[in-house]
Structure 1
């Protein structure tokens, strides 16, 4: 026969021992933890490191967004500047071939114009030979007059692009048959600098198509001949840029005679072609 009192006392004793064991573990756990102040400092250091990295990342992000916004603002501002005051840079490139993902830029020519006037030459002209890091094919050497020896000690394409972007600043870029130049610049900027193309560019061939809708041939040689513009040396980046600039000045004068006075208004007409 089982003694009920014994069972009761035994159960009570077990509960007491269990409670004592829990209290002991709890006490050990509390002793193992650092004081509240030390814990808070440790947590602060951890969170501070995390928040400092987050803060720096946030500041970089904000600076990047401000740069994009400023560039977007500058691009937008160009639209409403009168054409006879508009700052532009006229450019031309020579390359090792016609494939922007396989070929390289070997020379950049650029000149600055404000409105319908060339800016002072000493501060508004850029011409640079670039080392493409590959052999210049014989037919390109014949076409451009640029040899492998000419570019052997020239800056590389990445360095040349950095100077070019600084030279352009926030101006409108003008080029003739600009698809070639834009494709090479966009690809090279990303490849060398991880820099995406965000520059406003206008093709004088497109403007010519608007001004001369009946004219079938709109290449640089034909248009230069039509307007009695002499190209000192064809397929030389700086001389071709100069000829393109002469065309741009004439086109601005013609546009303004048609009461097209801003870039925004010009784009409205060009969108039809």
Structure 2
């Protein structure tokens, strides 16, 4: 049973999953939880390792959040993503949603993201948005800039809401520029973009940042291939050898 039945199953569980974003998998039977876990296990995460980078289809993701620590109560405010197919960003294949949040946002979060309480109080629930995002992403690897942020939040909410570990492969853009540029500078996204002649716009908007990251990814795919890395497996092996 593949990824589409997994999405269909999660949609069938809509009412129970949406009962409370704080309720984890409340209302789901142990059999249902086990079934969902099994479907997640069937994601073919290994296939991506051997596909030529120029042919590797990925989903580039960015999250705007209330802070940096999901295990300490920080939450997702918006999710933006865009697909890269055969080395090119497909702008028409994009995803964006605000996420319901009923608390008070810190002033600096509102200033940075442009998101305020009015915008998110009636937004879709996190479980609804995640189901839509996973349906959009399918079994594609997920790319993010400074990906630990996205990885930590997705792992946290996947377990909290669905009682299922996140099985998607998550790839950090740093994997590529560590090889192509032989450095691992912890620079913000806009500096990497400017260094590569990518026009910076819609910064700190989840979809805007996803598109910038996608352009950066496409640029560095070409660079690392020139250095002799043809596949993601080659990238990992080159990094491990450093």
Whose radius of gyration is greater, 1 or 2? Answer: 1
Q: 2:125 aligns with which of 156, 168, 182?
A: 156
1:90 paired residue number:
60
> How far off its partner does 1:215 sit?
6.2
For residues 260 and 176 of structure 1, the distance between their equivalents in structure 2, rounded to whole angstroms, comes to: 20
1:224 paired residue number:
193
Q: 2:87 aligns with which of 98, 110, 116?
A: 116
Q: Which runs of 5+ in 2 are unaligned?
A: 1-29
**Change in CA separation of 1:233 and 1:214 when aligned onto 2, cut-off 3 Å:** same
The answer to whether residue 215 in structure 2 is matched with residue 243 in structure 1 is no
**Change in CA separation of 1:148 and 1:205 when aligned onto 2, cut-off 3 Å:** same
For residues 37 and 145 of structure 2, the distance between their equivalents in structure 1, rounded to whole angstroms, comes to: 32
For residues 163 and 37 of structure 2, the distance between their equivalents in structure 1, rounded to whole angstroms, comes to: 16
1:67 paired residue number:
39
The answer to whether residue 208 in structure 2 is matched with residue 208 in structure 1 is no
For residues 219 and 210 of structure 1, the distance between their equivalents in structure 2, rounded to whole angstroms, comes to: 18
Q: Is the 8 A contact 1:208 1:218 kept in 2?
A: no
> How far off its partner does 1:66 sit?
6.0
> How far off its partner does 1:68 sit?
4.8
1:104 paired residue number:
75
Normalised by the size of structure 1, how large is the TM-score? 0.72
Q: 1:198 aligns with which of 149, 163, 167?
A: 167
Normalised by the size of structure 2, how large is the TM-score? 0.80
> How far off its partner does 1:76 sit?
1.1
Secondary structure of 1:183 counterpart: helix
Q: Is the 8 A contact 1:207 1:270 kept in 2?
A: no
- Looking at secondary structure, tell me which structure has more helix per residue: 1
The answer to whether residue 231 in structure 2 is matched with residue 259 in structure 1 is no
Q: Is the 8 A contact 2:180 2:227 kept in 1?
A: no
Root mean square deviation of aligned Cα: 2.2
1:166 paired residue number:
135
Q: Is the 8 A contact 2:81 2:95 kept in 1?
A: yes
**Change in CA separation of 1:87 and 1:177 when aligned onto 2, cut-off 3 Å:** same
Secondary structure of 1:79 counterpart: helix
For residues 230 and 110 of structure 1, the distance between their equivalents in structure 2, rounded to whole angstroms, comes to: 18
Q: Is the 8 A contact 1:96 1:136 kept in 2?
A: yes
Q: Which runs of 5+ in 1 are unaligned?
A: 1-56
> How far off its partner does 1:245 sit?
0.4
